[in-house]
């Protein structure tokens, strides 16, 4: 036992009644056992995993970079926009670079040689550069989403109100950023970013979902959009809508098969009302309207109007799910 460990044990034992030294030792043994079972032993003790808190701050800065006068600092003036955007973006990208490094190390259970570290750093810088290059296009795409929310809600007083107040818009901002990370082969960072929005809005959009422009989620609480969902242009959905999987493929050993297209494809100009559940790799034709509380597991042609009264009841077999 090192002197530091001995001092810690003495300090913990000095606390009456809790036997903290034994509990700390037991927790350490549990961690060591798990790390050995997962082959997670490392020569160095630095943090392996991306930080949720660091990503939260990066997301905050990126929101400000995308919409400086509305999501940036309260005292920002128009003449200072470019300086703020440049300074904040540089800070955010440097922080993102560190998190990308960590995910790349996890992906490769990294080569710890000096050559391996240099290659990893080069790859991380390249990915962050590609991400940054997408930001102007993401801003333009988000402008269509904000406009769609303003036009699609009679209660919206302005596009500024929509951007500042609507949880659906906040979720879509995070999704556009997370989807870019997902496309660059950074699924863990993408999922963490998506879950930050999920935890604050109640809207769960997997970063793998492909969503066209002018997308509007009204109210939004309880919305679930799966990883392989594809959503066209000018689609509007309401609260508690699920675009999920009807069943999950398994291999010969019973393990789930990853990466299979299993979620709906939604055409352009579709409206899906509150509580609708659409499951499986089915096509929802362009221009269709899906009524509230509909349970839908079969494709519908373009221009369809599907109501609860027109659907049939179905019981999912064992192994099925959302």
Please check whether residue 254 is in contact with residue 288, taking contact to mean a CB–CB distance below 8 angstroms. no
- The pLDDT, as a whole number, for residue 189 is 98
- The pLDDT, as a whole number, for residue 41 is 61
Q: pTM here?
A: 0.86
Quick one: tokens of 128?
Answer: 């962050």
Give the containing element (helix H, strand E) for 109: none
Phi, psi angle pair for 170, to nearest 5°: -60, -45
pLDDT in tens, 198-244: 999 999 999 999 999 999 999 999 999 999 999 999 999 999 999 99
3-state SS of 90-127 is HHHHHHHHHHHHHHHHHHHCCCCCHHHHHHHHHHHHHH
Please check whether residue 220 is in contact with residue 202, taking contact to mean a CB–CB distance below 8 angstroms. yes
pLDDT in tens, 160-190: 999 999 999 999 999 999 999 999 999 999 9
pLDDT at 48 over 80: no
Region 48-203: CATH code: 1.10.3130.10
Correct CATH for 209-322 of 2.30.40.10, 3.30.70.920, 2.160.10.10, 3.90.1170.30: 2.160.10.10
Q: Quick count: other Cβ atoms within 10 Å of Cβ 185?
A: 12
Please check whether residue 168 is in contact with residue 216, taking contact to mean a CB–CB distance below 8 angstroms. yes
**Residue 252's pLDDT band (boundaries 50, 70, 90)?**
confident
pLDDT at 6 over 90: no
């Amino acid at each position: 036992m090192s002197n530091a460990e001995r001092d810690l044990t003495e300090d913990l034992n000095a606390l009456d009644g809790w036997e903290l030294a034994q509990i700390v030792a037991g927790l350490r043994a549990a961690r060591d056992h798990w790390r050995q079972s997962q082959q997670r032993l490392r020569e160095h003790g630095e943090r392996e995993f991306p930080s949720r808190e660091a990503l939260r701050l990066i997301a905050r800065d990126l929101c400000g970079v995308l919409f400086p006068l509305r999501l940036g600092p309260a005292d920002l003036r128009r003449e200072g926009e470019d300086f703020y955007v440049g300074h904040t973006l540089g800070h955010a990208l440097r922080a993102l670079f560190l998190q990308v490094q960590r995910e790349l190390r996890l992906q490769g259970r990294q080569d710890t040689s000096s050559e391996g570290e240099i290659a990893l750093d080069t790859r991380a810088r390249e990915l962050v550069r590609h991400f940054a290059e997408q930001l102007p296009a993401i801003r333009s795409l988000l402008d269509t989403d904000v406009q769609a929310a303003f036009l699609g809600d009679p209660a919206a007083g302005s596009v500024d109100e929509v951007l500042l107040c609507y949880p659906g818009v906040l979720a879509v901002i995070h999704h556009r950023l997370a989807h870019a990370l997902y496309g660059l082969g950074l699924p863990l960072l993408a999922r963490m970013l998506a879950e930050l929005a999920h935890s604050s809005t109640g809207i769960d959009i997997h970063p793998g979902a492909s969503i066209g422009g002018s997308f509007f989620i009204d109210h939004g609480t309880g919305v679930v959009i799966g990883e392989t969902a594809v959503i066209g242009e000018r689609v509007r959905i309401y609260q508690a809508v699920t675009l999920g999987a009807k069943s999950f493929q398994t291999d010969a050993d019973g393990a789930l098969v990853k990466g299979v297209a299993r979620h709906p494809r939604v055409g352009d100009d579709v409206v899906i009302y509150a509580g609708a559940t659409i499951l499986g790799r089915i096509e929802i034709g362009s221009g269709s309207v899906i009524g509230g509380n509909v349970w839908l597991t079969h494709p519908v042609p373009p221009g369809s109007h599907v109501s609860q009264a027109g659907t049939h009841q179905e019981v999912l077999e064992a192994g099925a799910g959302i």
